[in-house]
């Protein structure tokens, strides 16, 4: 038998879907193109939201939403657009003060769908006690967009005492997870592809700022908060490890994966660790405050399933290692760019 | 979760590992043929928990990895044509061809779609009579019945705009080719449970008799694999060489007759080139004459391509288990899932990708 194999492919000259998937390709795009073009410093800690220069109480975040389909079990693009930005603000320890909402709609979109989406966004904003103060609407010709894209921008004010940052995790920190993983990605995928899991799985999309508010009494002991959206828990833990130069050890048996999600992932060959979530957060908390933080998360319905999944370690290589069910150690790498486009 | 959790029980796993340690009195080398099994072994770190001396050799059973470069180049030539929809399983999109890969072609405007079953491709063909829909039909005996059913369905519907680029491969000829190789170190096989669910295990009886190697039909969950390894080691220790069935909950000796019938109606056995390994006689499937109208190669008069492989990639040696990914000078630096030199770095079932995803690094030499 002969041993040979294929030519290297050249670096592409145009964007791939994976560049927007929140994994390695996204990181490369940010570092090599986006940040230099905007005059920002590459390789710095990338946060979910930014502190406004000169005023470290105010936090700013923006996020475009392109999820397909527009409606899915557990939510729709309207509620998702509100939750997404409220949550990005919350991951910096902030409560939302105001949102803007920009609409890009495709010619031919039925008024009924636009109304349903915007009413849902309005309800989500009221439920989160945040006003939508400004916005804009553009309509593009048929084919120039897929039905409806929304962009929300949010301003928030930090809860006194909370200063979480992706770069503040420390060795020995306890890693908490506020709820089960994998629901949002599998719910959207199943609806879009007609895979038949829709009945059993609903998106976890929900606002997380009240959980963060509950962590307020722990103050600066809350080192890092992250909502594991695109790229899932694997991406969130790797981003924190790398921004904080710590290792992370998690226990596979402790990570809650709902049975229908596990079944769907098995069938589709997906790893629940890289499936997107929209209603849970990971918290890195100083060990002496871990029990208090866990109790705080569990005191609210959206955190009732909160668990301790691992801890941060001394590791200059910033590896995320999972103790598998079988008891072996496995490195959990940054996902490449998941195979599930347009999940949020 | 029912039917999953009971095959992932850590206490039972410990028990099987202890059993294995008591049973094995000397080193043994066992090949798991199937990429799905490689994925579980590496993902759960099972190969590192085995008693010292029991070595798993990762076999050629990753369909994405063994699909020949020529087939990929042809798929890309078809996809680049106007009015063509190329439908494929997701993994195939990132496999490097001679010049580029399907994902990049799609970004340039080709209509390349990921489907979860070949029936989705038939549905697209039905919905778009103005397009030629081509399904890239790859895989082992496991995917062949569904692909055969898709052809039968398209024929029943009288679809004239549906065709397949077929590159199916068969497991037993690959096993005998490995065993015929003088350098072969494999002393026992774990046969792929899903392949046997379709084909049964009769095909392996001549192999165990002729080559005097144990073959254990094995499932894909951690406990399946541990039990399959234990059964193989017991046979080796006792000097037996027979076909045993660990995966009795899914596999019968005769397999699934209906699935086999569909395959033999639509396809016929042919010689097949395996990427990185070479051409093996009677090791693949192609469309039978009665269904030749669904052959994309004929429909588009696809000429042979000038396909060239990367000289540094040792995928062939990895697919045959002769080398490990961490033996490769390109592993982890020039060759990563982001910039794969060879197919085993692409699919989750590819040995190189499984190693990379589990963070395995090259041993300092």
A84-102: string of b/e by CB count within 10 Å (b at 16+)? bbbbbbbbbbbbbeebbbb
Whole-Å CA distances, B235 to A270, B213, B243, B336: 35, 9, 10, 38
pLDDT at A184: 96
Residues A232 and A299 in one domain: yes
Q: Which of residues 81-140 of A touch B (CB under 8 A)?
A: none
pTM of the model as a whole: 0.86
| pLDDT 10s digits, A187-239 | 998 888 777 776 789 999 999 999 999 999 999 999 999 999 999 999 999 99
Interface test with B, best of A1, A4, A5 (most B CBs within 10 A): A5
As a whole-number percent, the residues of chain A with pLDDT over 90 amount to 72
Strand A75-76 to A71-72 pairing: antiparallel
Minimal C-alpha gap between A269 and chain B (Å): 8
Residue of B100, B317, B357 lying closest to A3 (CB–CB)? B317
Return the pLDDT at A8: 33
A201 with A318, same domain: the answer is: yes
Do residues A260 and A220 share a domain? yes
Instruction: Give pLDDT, residue A338.
Output: 54
Residues A182 and A323 in one domain: yes
A2 touches B at CB < 8 Å: yes
Inform me whether the pLDDT recorded for B150 exceeds 80. Answer: yes
**Chain B residues with CB inside 8 Å of A262's CB?**
1, 4
Does A216 share its domain with A127? no
Pick B358's closest partner by Cβ from A18, A269, A331: A331
What is the domain range of residue A70? 48-158
The CATH code belonging to domain B1-310 is 3.40.50.11740
Residues A154 and A192 in one domain: no
Q: Say whether both A143 and A231 belong to one domain.
A: no
Check residue B325 and give its pLDDT. Answer: 92
Q: Are A4 and B315 inside 8 Å of each other by CB? A: yes
In a domain, A194, yes or no: yes
The answer to whether residue A336 neighbours chain B at the CB level (below 8 Å) is: yes
Contact A9 B116 (CB under 8 A): no
Q: What is the pLDDT of residue A9?
A: 37
Which has the closest alpha carbon to B189: B151, B220, B232, B222?
Answer: B232
Same domain assignment for residues A260 and A130: no
Q: pLDDT per residue over B162-174, tens digit each?
A: 999 999 999 999 9
Tokens of A193: 């592809």
* Residue A26 placed within a domain: no
Element (H, E) at B260: helix B257-266
Report the gap between the CA of A99 and the closest CA in chain B (Å). Answer: 34
- Whether A211 is covered by a domain: the verdict is yes
pLDDT digits (tens, 9 = 90+) for A142-172: 999 999 999 999 999 999 999 999 999 999 9
Q: What is the pLDDT of residue B54?
A: 96
Give the DSSP H/E element, type plus range, for residue A246: none
Q: Is the peptide bond before A78 cis (omega within 30 degrees of 0)?
A: no
Digit-coded pLDDT (tens) for B287-345: 999 999 999 999 998 877 677 777 788 888 888 788 889 999 999 888 888 788 888 88
Binning chain A into helix, strand and coil, the percentages to the nearest 5 are: 35, 25, 40
β-bridge pairing A50-52 and A55-65? antiparallel
Is A131 inside a domain boundary? yes
Backbone φ and ψ for A326, nearest 5 degrees, come out as -80, -10
Reported as a single tens digit per residue, the pLDDT across B7-59 is 888 999 999 999 999 999 999 999 999 989 998 998 899 999 999 999 999 98
How far apart, in Å, are the Cα atoms of B354 and each of B16, B39, B357? Answer: 24, 6, 5
Q: What is the torsion angle, in degrees rounded to the nearest 10, for the CA atoms of residue A24, residue A29, residue A31 and residue A34? A: -150
Q: Which pLDDT value is given to residue A4?
A: 39
Q: What is the count of structural domains for chain A?
A: 2
Q: Categorize the per-residue pLDDT at A109 as very low, low, confident or very high, splitting at 50, 70 and 90.
A: very high
Shared domain for A226 and A131, answered yes or no, is no
The H-or-E segment that residue B254 falls in is none
Do A153 and A197 share a structural domain? no
Which residues does residue B216 pair with via DSSP β-bridges, in sequence order?
Answer: B190, B244
* Residue A326 Cα, gap to closest chain B Cα (Å): 5
Average pLDDT, chain A: 91
Q: Give the CATH number of the domain where residue A253 resides.
A: 3.90.650.10
Q: Phi and psi for B108 in degrees, rounded to 5? A: -85, -5
Across the interface, of B13, B314, B341, the residue whose CB is closest to A3 is B314
Whether B3 shows a pLDDT value over 80: the answer reads no
Q: Which of A158, A193, A216 is the last residue of a domain?
A: A158
The residue of chain A with its CA nearest to that of B4 is: A263
The domain segmentation of chain B, as residue ranges, is 1-310, 315-357
pLDDT reported for residue B358: 79
A-chain CB neighbours of B123 within 8 Å are: none
Whichever domain contains A54, its CATH number is: 3.30.1330.10
Residue A307 has what pLDDT? 98
Q: Residue A7: its pLDDT value, please? A: 33
Evaluate whether residue A340 is within a structural domain: no
Question: pLDDT at residue A73 above 70?
Answer: yes
The per-residue pLDDT for A253 is 93
Question: Going by C-beta distance under 8 Å and a sequence separation of 6 or more, which residues neighbour residue B335?
Answer: B313, B328, B341, B342, B345, B352
Q: Mind listing the pLDDT tens digit for each residue in A300-316?
A: 999 999 999 999 999 99
- Cβ distance B311 to A9 less than 8 Å, yes or no, reads no
Residues A261-293: tens digit of each pLDDT? 998 888 887 889 999 999 999 999 999 999 999
């Amino acid at each position: 038998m002969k041993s040979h194999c294929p030519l290297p492919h050249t670096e592409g000259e145009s964007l791939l879907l994976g560049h927007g998937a929140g994994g390695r390709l996204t990181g490369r795009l940010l570092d090599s193109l986006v940040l230099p073009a905007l005059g920002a410093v590459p390789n710095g800690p990338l946060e979910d939201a930014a502190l406004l220069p000169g005023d470290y109480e105010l936090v700013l975040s923006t996020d475009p939403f392109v999820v397909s389909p527009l409606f899915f079990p557990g939510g729709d693009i309207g509620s998702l657009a509100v939750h997404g930005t409220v949550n990005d603000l919350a991951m910096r320890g902030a409560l939302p003060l105001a949102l803007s909402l920009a609409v890009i709609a495709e010619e031919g979109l039925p008024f009924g769908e636009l109304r349903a989406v915007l009413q849902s966004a309005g309800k989500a904003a009221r439920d989160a006690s945040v006003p939508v103060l400004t916005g804009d609407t553009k309509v593009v010709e048929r084919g120039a967009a897929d039905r409806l894209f929304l962009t929300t921008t949010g301003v928030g004010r930090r809860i006194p005492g909370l200063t979480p940052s992706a770069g503040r995790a420390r060795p020995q920190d306890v890693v908490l997870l506020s709820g089960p993983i994998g629901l949002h990605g599998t719910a959207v995928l199943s609806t879009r592809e007609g895979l038949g899991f829709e009945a059993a799985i609903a998106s976890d999309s929900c606002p997380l700022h009240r959980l963060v508010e509950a962590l307020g009494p722990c103050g600066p002991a809350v080192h890092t908060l992250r909502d594991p959206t695109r790229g899932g828990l694997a991406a969130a833990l790797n981003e924190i490890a790398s921004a904080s130069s710590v290792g992370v050890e998690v226990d596979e048996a402790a990570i809650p994966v709902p049975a229908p999600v596990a079944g769907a992932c098995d069938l589709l060959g997906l790893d629940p660790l890289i499936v997107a979530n929209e209603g849970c957060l990971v918290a890195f908390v100083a060990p002496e405050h871990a029990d208090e933080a866990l109790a705080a998360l569990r005191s609210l319905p959206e955190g009732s399933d909160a668990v301790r999944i691992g801890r941060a370690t001394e590791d200059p290589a910033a590896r995320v290692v999972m103790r598998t069910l079988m008891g072996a150690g496995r490195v959990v790498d940054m996902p490449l760019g998941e195979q599930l486009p347009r999940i949020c | 979760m029912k039917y999953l959790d009971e095959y992932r029980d850590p206490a039972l796993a410990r028990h099987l590992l202890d059993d294995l340690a008591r049973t094995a009195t000397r080193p043994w080398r066992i090949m798991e043929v199937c990429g799905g099994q490689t994925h579980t072994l590496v993902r759960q770190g099972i190969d590192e928990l085995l008693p010292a001396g029991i070595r798993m050799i990762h076999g050629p059973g990753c369909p994405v990895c063994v699909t020949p470069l020529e087939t990929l180049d042809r798929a890309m030539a078809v996809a680049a044509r106007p009015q063509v929809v190329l439908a494929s399983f997701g993994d195939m999109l990132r496999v490097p061809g001679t010049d580029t890969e399907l994902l990049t072609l799609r970004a340039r405007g080709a209509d390349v779609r990921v489907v979860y079953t070949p029936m989705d491709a038939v549905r697209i063909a039905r919905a778009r009579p103005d397009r030629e829909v081509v399904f890239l039909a790859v895989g082992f005996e496991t995917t062949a019945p569904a692909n055969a059913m898709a052809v039968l369905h398209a024929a029943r519907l009288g679809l004239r705009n549906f065709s397949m680029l077929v590159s199916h491969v068969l497991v037993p000829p690959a096993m005998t080719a490995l065993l015929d190789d003088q350098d072969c170190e494999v002393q026992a096989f774990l046969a792929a449970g899903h392949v046997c669910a379709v084909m049964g295990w009769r095909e392996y009886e001549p192999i165990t008799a002729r080559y005097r190697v144990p073959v254990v039909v094995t499932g894909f969950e951690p406990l399946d694999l541990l039990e399959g390894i234990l059964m193989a080691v017991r046979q080796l220790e006792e000097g037996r060489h027979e076909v045993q069935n660990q995966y009795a909950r899914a596999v019968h000796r005769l397999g699934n007759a209906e699935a086999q019938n569909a395959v033999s109606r639509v396809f016929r056995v042919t010689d097949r080139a395996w990427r990185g390994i070479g051409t093996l006689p009677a090791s693949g499937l192609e469309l039978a004459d009665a269904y030749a109208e669904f052959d994309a190669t004929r429909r588009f008069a696809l000429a042979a391509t000038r396909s060239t492989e990367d000289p540094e990639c040792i995928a062939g040696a990895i697919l045959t288990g002769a080398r490990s990914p961490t033996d490769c000078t390109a592993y982890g630096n020039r060759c990563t899932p982001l910039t794969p030199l060879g197919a085993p770095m692409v699919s989750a079932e590819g040995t190189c990708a499984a190693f990379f995803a589990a963070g395995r690094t090259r041993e300092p030499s």
